[in-house]
Amino acid sequence: MPHQSMSHERAAHTLEEFFTGHRAVRGAIRESDVTIAHLRLGTYTPEVTKFDALEDTYLYAQLIARALSTATIHTITDIGAGSSIPTLWAIRSVGGWNGRVEASDVDAAALDVSRRNAEKTGSLAQYAFQHASLFDVLPHLVTGPGHLIAANLPYLPIPLPSAGPDMMTVNGGPDGTQYLLPLLAHPMEQGTLVALQWSSLSDPVAVMRCIERSYAVLSVTAHQTPFGMYTNANPIRAHLEQQRREGRAVFSTNKAGEHAYMFLGTILQRC
Ligand SMILES: C[S@@+](CC[C@H](N)C(=O)[O-])C[C@H]1O[C@@H](n2cnc3c(N)ncnc32)[C@H](O)[C@@H]1O
């Protein structure tokens, strides 16, 4: 449920309380900090899809690796898997893992990239690929202890007139929550783990409320990042400033007028 408009200060304060309450690990990252070399899979340099925000992919890969180290997992359902670099990287970084990965994406070309990356790293037998939207995946989602539901779905608030096909990899709807809230609110068996990447731009108060209603929060990371290619482009930047005025996006502005927001990584357990 979208909340009534609140001040940006109040939304920022609520987010800070969430960080403090869950001992968030803080960091900072810039687009230029991560190159494909950071995502190499052994000697193989993986293929990327048209979503090439490598710092976002890298943080999501680390999030999945942390989730794999948190509990015994036998199945990862990666929704909006893109290139599958995050699961392939995470599995290597924990020293190997024998479970199954169900990778789905609405973009068939992305799944072709996924398949090639899994094949070139000798991991194809662990993977099943499904060309489907989140909304087709949810009704059949298998959950419960041992299942990790992982998602780095589009979470940027994009104003409706800009929401064309070229924005498909980042468009989280006008407030950034069009995928986050349905996934979080979906019924899941107790004990299911959820590794979710999102941002302080994506109506964090609404997302936190949804999390606190149904999950125990196992870990939170918050990486500050300057506005970049999408977020600085108008009319998206102007839309985000409006979202901030309404308390639906949290970001800071320095003396030079440059904005910075946060990538958020949460590992949750369904209660
Ligand atoms: C932010 S990118 C992340 C890709 C990959 N997980 C990563 O971290 O590099 C979002 C992905 O979600 C996919 N996507 C967009 N809308 C979707 C939907 N309705 N259902 C499933 N996947 C979707 C895009 O094609 C894209 O691959």
Helix axes 108-120 and 85-93, enclosed angle (nearest 10): 30
Ligand 1 center–CA 153 separation, angstroms: 5
* Residue 163 confidence (pLDDT): 83
CA angle 260, 266, 268 (to 5 degrees): 160
Which residue has the CA at smallest separation from atom 5 of ligand 1? 82
CB 157 less than 6 A from any atom of ligand 1: no
* Residue 6 confidence (pLDDT): 79
Which residue has the CA at smallest separation from atom 27 of ligand 1? 82
Q: Which residues on adjacent β-strands are paired with residue 90?
A: none
Which residue has the CA at smallest separation from atom 7 of ligand 1? 57
* Residue 133 confidence (pLDDT): 98
What SS3 class is residue 247?
Answer: coil
CB 153 less than 6 A from any atom of ligand 1: yes
CB 46 less than 6 A from any atom of ligand 1: no
Kindly report, residue by residue over 131-173, the tens digit of the pLDDT: 999 999 999 999 999 999 999 999 999 998 888 888 899 999 9
CB 80 less than 6 A from any atom of ligand 1: yes
Q: Kindly list the averaged pLDDT for each block of 10 residues, start to end, along the chain of length 271.
A: 76 97 98 96 97 96 97 97 98 97 98 98 98 98 98 96 87 97 98 98 98 98 95 95 97 97 98 98
Within 10 Å of residue 36's Cβ, how many Cβ atoms? 15
CATH superfamily of 8-270: Vaccinia Virus protein VP39 (3.40.50.150)
What SS3 class is residue 196?
Answer: strand
**Domain segments of the chain as ranges:** 8-270
Contact 161, 116 (CB under 8 A): no
CB 57 less than 6 A from any atom of ligand 1: yes
* Residue 240 confidence (pLDDT): 97
Kindly report, residue by residue over 241-256, the tens digit of the pLDDT: 999 999 999 999 999 9
Q: Distance between CA atoms of 72 and 82, rounded to whole angstroms?
A: 24
* Residue 2 confidence (pLDDT): 59
Sign of CA dihedral 185, 190, 192, 197: positive
CA angle 100, 103, 104 (to 5 degrees): 150
* Residue 4 confidence (pLDDT): 65
* Residue 1 confidence (pLDDT): 54
Which residue has the CA at smallest separation from atom 9 of ligand 1? 57
Polymer length of the chain: 271
Q: Alpha-carbon Rg of the chain, whole angstroms? A: 18
In terms of pTM, does the model score above 0.85? yes
* Residue 3 confidence (pLDDT): 64
Mutate which of 38, 153, 171 for ligand 1 pocket (most atoms within 8 A of beta carbon)? 153
Q: Which residue is listed with tokens 């991991």?
A: 123
CB 110 less than 6 A from any atom of ligand 1: yes
What SS3 class is residue 188?
Answer: coil
Ligand 1 center–CA 9 separation, angstroms: 31
* Residue 160 confidence (pLDDT): 87
